[in-house]
Amino acid sequence: MNKRYSILSIVAVAAVAGILFGSTYSNTQSVAGNALGVSPETIDKVTPQTIDSVTAKDVQSAGGLEFKMFGADAIPLDQVAAEKAAGRTVHEITLTAQSVDLPIPGGKMYHAMTFDGQVPGPTIRVTQGDVIEVTLNVPSTELTPHSLDMHAGRISAVPNFLAVMPGKSNTYAYIANTPGAFKYHCEGVNVIGMDQHVLSGMYGMTIVDPLNGYHKLLIQRTATQNGQVVLNNTLISPAAYEFTLEFNQLYLNSDGSYNQAAMFLHNTTWTVINGKPFGYDPVVTKIWNNAPVAHDKSAPLILPVGQHIRYFVVNQGNMPLFFHIVGGQMDRVTQGNVVQAMGTQTWDIGGSQDAIIDAVYDEPGAYVIVNHDYAAIFTGAAAVQLAQASPAPNPSDAVPPTSSLPGTSIPQQTFVHCECTNERANEIGNMTGQ
């Protein structure tokens, strides 16, 4: 099949689907080819002429072009209960826009924009096929409207991601159909100011666990046997010690305000992991070691040796992320639920892209996670990890909520650590019983 024919076929599928659904389709209907009765033979019968006439007729009968995505995940709010009755789990999530000042190195503060007073925003965790019904509240005290764009769904930006005025809220719902670690972020005021809002802290992660769980992890090593080197491969359980790592940049003026000119030049002031530059580094830079409040202090990640470690990584910024573990390797890289690599040294994660990275540390030691871009490392993209014999409490901002899938998350003890207000730190402590 040549390329032109292949593209034509895709268009033809859309056209045939349009005939079959016509005016009756809703956002929640299945788009599986077989369910539509679309066979390769019927596709082949569609000619460019029929496509044109069908498309025009379709648009005409619908009363003109509509902002609707065919097969999108969106659910009208009055149908959420029906989805629940049909067996889907519904997660009602509320996020509140909050502009606050948060600390940066040197005892200074910057003008942050946040969800719920923390950067990144709360990590949302659902299972593939669950419904996310999300409400964004914008308090009347905010000086600017905000908005919420969630990458975990196929959902029209209009009207869902439009600006929410101070004193108002907006709710929408969708089915999380695709597994992965997805960005959510403020989209500014109908896109205007989006860069400022995101790069000032309005971003977070939605983990969508695969419906059938994560795959077992193949550990590829070698051994010696009868004087020869032999492969020593083992499969280990999907149950893992889990961590979230969100990379971003801060572009700041000396007074802590957003510096758009610096952003256009990619002239980073700080590179942050989970909101803080060097926040997990009590060893090399010691920037946060003397922070006045406990939740700001440097804290390394503690990894048990020989155990399955799973990282959910999202690049929230506008610079490339060359994800690397100094002294380590990635045993597996997954996107969606598809394995992209096994046994690799560095994985490139572009802006607003994610990866789920599995690793096992065979020996105790220090293994520093970096963005292997030197400009990023030396402005904050270095997180110290200590691999040791036994588990220990970890910083709360690096540990996701436990998966509801059995045999997925190994529960971890945490202590409150966050780029957040003192009030939010107290709330996190209350939620986690600390």
Q: Kindly list the residues in this chain that would bind Cu ion in the complex (CB under 5 A).
A: 146, 186, 197, 202
Closer CB to Cu ion, residue 155 or residue 186? 186
Closer CB to Cu ion, residue 144 or residue 412? 144
Contact (Cβ atoms closer than 8 angstroms) between residue 328 and residue 361? yes
Closer CB to Cu ion, residue 125 or residue 146? 146
Q: Would you call 370 exposed, middle or buried from its count of C-beta atoms within 10 A (0-12, 13-18, 19+)?
A: buried
Torsion of Cα atoms, 335 then 336 then 342 then 346, to 10°: 10
CB of residue 272 vs Cu ion: minimum separation in angstroms? 17
Closer CB to Cu ion, residue 115 or residue 182? 115
Q: Which candidate, 357, 342, 261, places its Cα nearest to that of 309? A: 357
Closer CB to Cu ion, residue 197 or residue 332? 197
- H-assigned helices in 120-203: 157-160, 194-199
Closer CB to Cu ion, residue 203 or residue 347? 203
CB of residue 275 vs Cu ion: minimum separation in angstroms? 16
Closer CB to Cu ion, residue 194 or residue 287? 194
CB of residue 148 vs Cu ion: minimum separation in angstroms? 9
CB of residue 144 vs Cu ion: minimum separation in angstroms? 7
Catalogue the E-assigned strands of 4-107. 74-75, 90-104
Preceding omega of 210 cis (within 30 degrees of 0): no
The one-character DSSP state at 416 is -
Preceding omega of 120 cis (within 30 degrees of 0): yes
Query: What span, in angstroms and rounded, lies between the C-alpha atoms of 157 and 150?
Result: 9
Backbone angles phi, psi at 234, to 5 degrees: -135, 145
Q: Which candidate, 145, 150, 126, places its Cα nearest to that of 190? A: 145
**Longest CA span, the chain:** 77
CB of residue 197 vs Cu ion: minimum separation in angstroms? 3
Closer CB to Cu ion, residue 200 or residue 353? 200
The one-character DSSP state at 252 is B
CB of residue 72 vs Cu ion: minimum separation in angstroms? 24
CB of residue 54 vs Cu ion: minimum separation in angstroms? 41
Query: What span, in angstroms and rounded, lies between the C-alpha atoms of 43 and 22?
Result: 17
Pairing of strands 382-388, 365-371: antiparallel
How many alpha carbons lie under 13 Å from residue 367 in its C-beta half-sphere?
24
CB of residue 163 vs Cu ion: minimum separation in angstroms? 9
